[in-house]
Every structure is written in C-alpha cells, then in structure tokens.
Amino acid sequence: MKNLITIILLVTCSVLMYAGDPSRKGTTGAEQLLIPVGASGIATAGAFVSNMVGIDAIYYNPAGLSHLKGSEATFSYMSYLADINISYFAVGTNLGEVGSLGFSLKSFSFGDIPVTTFDSPDGDGSTYSPSLMTIGLTYGKIITDRVSIGVTGKVINENIMDVSATGFALDFGVQYRFPSNLSIGAAVKNIGTNMKYSGQNLRYKSGLPESQPGSKDASWEAVTEEFQIPSYFELSTAYAYNIDEENFVQVGGVFRNNNQSEDQMKFGLEYGFMNMFYVRGGYDMLLKNSDQSIRGFSAGAGVNYSTGGIGMTFDYAYQAIKDFPKPTHTFSLKLALQ
C-alpha cells in the first residue's frame, strides 16, 4: 500500500509540475474521444474514476471492469449538439480467475448533409454523412482484494466521403480500495498513434493551363498534416458513506491533466436508496480560465430492478453546454446476468 501511494504521489507531483498546455488548443484531432458516454458517469461529471465498476467503467477507468459480476451489456444514446446523436454499446463478462473482458463501440450520427460545390452553392442534390467511430477491447484483473488494473486497446476511425483517418490508442487504469470505503484511482487515456487523412477525394485531375486539345490531364493530391489525439491523465478519489441499511451517499473528485488544453477538476455526488433509486449531480471546471469551461453542471437519476438473477438499470443524465441553447440528454439501459 505504501509503495502504491508513493507512486501515485510522485506521478501527481510530476503532473502538477507540467500543467495543461493552453497554447496547444486546436492542435489535436479526434475530439470524439473526449465526449463522455453512459448516463451515470455523465451525470456525476465523470468524478468516480476511482470506484466505478462493471461495464460502465470501460470509458472512465478500465480497471473497474475487473469487478464485473457475471455478464453485463449496456446501450447509451445521447442527443448531442447541432442535431448530432451519439450511440454507445458495450458488453462484458467475468472469466473467473482469468479476469474480465469487455467490448465497446461508440459511433456518431450526423444525418444527411447536402453536398455543395462552387457551381452549386445551395447543393447539387446529393448528400453525405461523416462517420466517427471508436471500437475498444478491454481487459480487467483484480490483483489483490484492494488493487485492480485494466487496459483498453481501441481503434479510432473518422470518415468523410472518400477521405478517412485511422489511429490506435491504449487506456490504462488502476483502482485501490481502502477498508474504510475510501478509494483512489488513476487512469491514462488515449496514448497512441498520430492520425492523418487520406483518400480518393484528395486527388484531383484537370487540364494544364493553355494546353492543347487532347493533351494529358495533370493530377495532384492535397497534402494533409498528421495530428495527435487528445491524451490525458486523471487522478481520482472517492468516499462512500452508508447512512443506514437503505440509504447511502458517495462523493468523488478528479484532477485531469490534458495535453491539449488547461487542466480540469471534476466533482460528483450520488445518493442511493435501497440500491434501487439514484440521484446524481456533478460539476466540471477548468483550473485556469474557468469562464471558458465548455461543460459545467450535470445531473441525473437512475432506477435499478433485479429479479430472477437478471438486473435492469435505466439511467438519465442532463448536462449544460456553454454557448449552446440546448443541453445534452443521455439515456442508458443496462442488463446484467449474475
């Protein structure tokens, strides 16, 4: 335990010495990786990195998958900004002493967008729809009765018409639980390759200026730059307090060090009644220039019902987005087999 705490303290000091870099805003791509999933996690602003367990933990801390009991599957739907919709699906199972294995898929739907050209600025009658997708495979393992670890390997793909970019990344996570319902955790997200767009729509052919009829067309290809993906490190702690046999409350906090913007702090609160009804709230803020925070207050609720070894959970989350008139709404449904 002393060794683990020492390591976390050393990592924390190192991170604080190199805080987030505001000068790198707009220099990374694949921003889809920063959009959270799952109504329970969004409602608490992602503050329970240290003790979130089961299939819901895949996005926030893969170490939490190791505490999966039986098998679980979840589907989440988010009504995002500008009529963009985000779907998320994950399934996982406990393999006994081997550990737990999970699969996840996040995709974006932009609808049909009219194709505009120089000759048809109002549209030429055809449409296109960008495709953003992240596919992940997660492994979690309980090392001791207090320590669990996890890792996710994922493929990131972005496609616009005949132009696409693909990258690979890893997430690492660890959770440590004290006997007093206190937990600490750490996660490193999106450590991977650079991405670069390429494809048929970047290639062009046309006649050379002042060329004679019948001469060959000139061809060229637009050069695109490689871009990094937005990686970050999170350090979290949480405490759960059992008020009595029917009521409990837990609070959590997360410090996030970003490689592409200012650092963040997140705070979350959850109240549960009889392990059936839940009320949640959270707040996400930048440590510097807090008035520029995109996300802020979030809230939500959940209902859990189990019968005959089958559990069903329905969660809802609300999150305000700065400078946009409409907030985001997320709905999640989870099924569990014990």
The single-letter DSSP state of residue 215 is: P
The pTM (predicted TM-score) of the whole model is 0.87
Q: Which domains are seen in the chain, by residue range?
A: 2-8+29-337 (2.40.160.60)
pLDDT tens digits, one per residue of 75-88: 999 999 888 999 99
Question: What is the total residue count of the chain?
Answer: 338
Q: Taking 50 as the threshold, does the pLDDT of residue 314 lie above it?
A: yes
Residue 334: burial class (beta carbons within 10 Å; 0-12, 13-18, 19+)? buried
The answer to whether the CB of 284 falls within 8 A of the CB of 45 is: yes
Longest dimension (CA), the chain: 89
d(CA 102, CA 93): 7
SS3 89: strand
CA distance 186 to 232: 11
Q: 14 vs 8, 138, 175, 210, 253, CA distance in Å?
A: 10, 27, 19, 62, 19
pLDDT of amino acid 184: 94
Alpha helices (H) along the chain? 2-17, 39-43, 57-60
The pLDDT assigned to 232 comes to 93
> Is 17's pLDDT higher than 70?
no
Sign of CA dihedral 102, 48, 236, 230: positive
The pLDDT tens digits of the residues spanning 41-96 come to: 999 999 999 999 999 999 999 999 999 999 999 999 999 988 899 999 999 999 99
The pLDDT value given to residue 217: 61
Q: What is the DSSP letter of 243?
A: -
Residue 260, SS3 per DSSP: coil
